[in-house]
Amino acid sequence: MAYQLDPYIIIRYLPLFLKGVFLTVEISFLAILIGLPIGILAAVARTSRLKILNLAGAIYVEVFRNTPLLIQIFIIFFGLPGLGVKLSPYISGLTALVLYVGAYNTEVIRAGLEAVPRGQIEAAKSLGLTGVQTFLHVILPQTFRISLPALGNNWVALVKNSSLVSVIGMVELTWVTFDLNALTFRSFELFGAATIFYLLLIFILINILAFVEKRFAYKT
Amino acid sequence: MNFDLEVIAQNLPYLLSGVKFTIALACLVIVLGTILGIILGLSKLSKNLLIRYPASFVVEITRDTPILMQMFFIFFGLPALGIRLKTFPSAALAMSLFAAGNAAEIVRGAIESLPTGQFDAARSLGMNYLQTMVYVILPQALRRMIPPAMGLFTTLIKDTSLAAIIGAFELTRAGQEIIERTFHSLEIYLVIAAIYFIICYPLSYYTRKGEKQRVMGF
């Protein structure tokens, strides 16, 4: 029995696909947004002279970077109810993605913080800026500029990793594809189409990042 | 709820039997991915368009789509073309392609970061392409490839957990089976996380050390 390709299946189910794409975009965008301040805070902790803050930052980064995201999602969604913490699939998935990307952001931002020349801090101090002002107006903008390419890599990985939240039932692109597959058995077309949707999303993100990097690049 | 240590002790041997498959899968993927990745990476640097474009195409597809999607495509989608693979080979194939695409970029990046004078010098000594690569370029490029490659290998070991989603038996799947029997999700998943951590932490520690040395060394 030969398998007849049916490309129209994609057009027939396009509205469902697009719903999935929107949720993938939504959750990725939220995780990027929330993951950034978490990365900044943890990076500040990591570079702090306070031993206890430093250690807490290090533990956070190492635990989340050295265990699979899938297991983190499972622990939050299936494990935490055992401790009385019940979260919806949406909140569980988003929390896991935020904590995961936050840990990767931390390392990138820490490297960025350390790459800002010391003279900048001394100059800010001699202008009479307080510690907080120095950080917000002098160090952070430069750190962001230095870290942007590596942050971009984290964000691209995040969009791809967002496919994992389908396993706890969040109705994003991968889940929609899986569900349609169970309904129609048109695996080749459906997973092919989903692959193209992801390629498009990543392609758009990479181009936005390239544009922003160009805008913020050091002029030589 | 009470944290049940006994359930961990009872099921640890079964989890460890899953670890064997996780390590086997990871090793297979790392070896296949590295070999394929070097071939793809060198192809991407080729002056021949017929070699460069297909290689770039494969690299982009494998790098810019979720590895889970690639696994689904190979496991559920390929049977449509008459290619039927079991769960473990499907996972191994999908992950090897993903590894190859990423390794290719590491290889290409490392080679392109070398000064072009190295190529010119080798050529002016009368070396052909193969000799230039084997004796001059690759030994130098290798030093620069090791830290990012270690990072990639860590990611691959973590990503072997995705094989459980299509039902291949490894650590995560072993844990899921135990949870289906005992309903102790938290304990089992925490132990699984700890096992992955024990495997991955030395690698990522070494990666960071290597990156620092590279900054000093070059």
Structure tokens at B152: 């990639």
pLDDT, tens digit (0-9, with 9 covering 90-100), for A83-134: 999 999 999 999 999 999 999 999 999 999 999 998 999 999 999 999 899 9
Residues of B in contact with A70 (CB under 8 A): 161-162, 164-165, 172
Q: What is the pLDDT of residues B142-162, one digit of tens each?
A: 888 998 999 999 999 999 999
Given this model, what pLDDT does residue A53 score?
A: 96
Rounded to whole angstroms, how far apart are CA atoms B205 and A105? 17
Give which of B68, B84, B105 to mutate to test A binding, by max A Cβ within 10 Å: B68
A187 interfaces chain B, CB cutoff of 8 Å? yes
Q: Is A72 on the interface with B (CB under 8 A)?
A: yes
A194 contacts chain B (CB < 8 A) = yes
Which residue numbers of B have CB closer than 8 Å to A's CBs?
Answer: 1, 60-61, 64-70, 72-73, 76-82, 154, 158-162, 164-165, 172, 179, 184-186, 189-190, 192-193, 196-197, 200-201, 204
Instruction: State pTM to two decimals.
Output: 0.92
B215 pLDDT band, cuts 50/70/90, is low
CB B7 within 8 A of CB B188: yes
| CA A150 to each of CA A29, A209, B60, B168: distance values in angstroms, whole numbers, following the listed order | 17, 11, 18, 33
For residue B67, count other CB atoms closer than 10 A to its CB: 24
Quickly list DSSP for B200-213. HHHHHHHHHHHHHH
Nearest-CB residue to A70 (from B73, B76, B161): B161
The confidence score (pLDDT) of residue A219 equals 65
Closest CA to A16 of A164, A186, A142: A186
Count Cα neighbours of A52 within 13 Å in the Cβ-side half-sphere: 0
pLDDT of residue B80: 84
**Token output for B182:** 């005992």
pLDDT digit of tens for each residue in chain A (220 aa)? Answer: 567 788 888 899 999 999 999 999 999 999 999 999 999 999 999 999 999 999 999 999 999 999 999 999 999 999 999 899 999 999 999 999 999 999 999 999 999 999 999 899 999 999 999 989 999 999 999 999 999 999 999 999 999 999 999 999 999 999 999 999 999 888 999 999 999 999 999 999 999 999 998 888 766 5
Asked if A195's CB is within 8 angstroms of B70's CB, the reply is yes
How many Cβ pairs closer than 8 A exist between chain A and B? 130
**Closest Cα partner for A113 from A165, A198, A42?**
A42
Amino acid at A186: R
- Distance (Å, whole) CA A54 – CA A108: 16
Report residue A22 as tokens.
Answer: 């929107």
Distance between CA atoms of residues B78 and A56, nearest Å = 46
How far apart CA B164 and CA B171 sit, in angstroms, is 8
Q: What is the pLDDT of residue B218?
A: 42
Kindly list the residues from chain B whose CB atom is less than 8 angstroms away from the CB atom of residue A68. Answer: 158-162, 172, 193, 196
CB burial string A48-61: b at 16+ within 10 A, e below: eeeeeeeeebeebb
Is the Cα torsion angle A104, A97, A54, A125 positive or negative in sign?
positive
How many Å separate Cα A145 from the centre of its chain? 18
A184 — contact with chain B (CB < 8 Å)?
no
Whether the CA torsion A144, A147, A151, A152 is positive or negative: it is positive
Return the higher-pLDDT residue of B81 and A17: A17
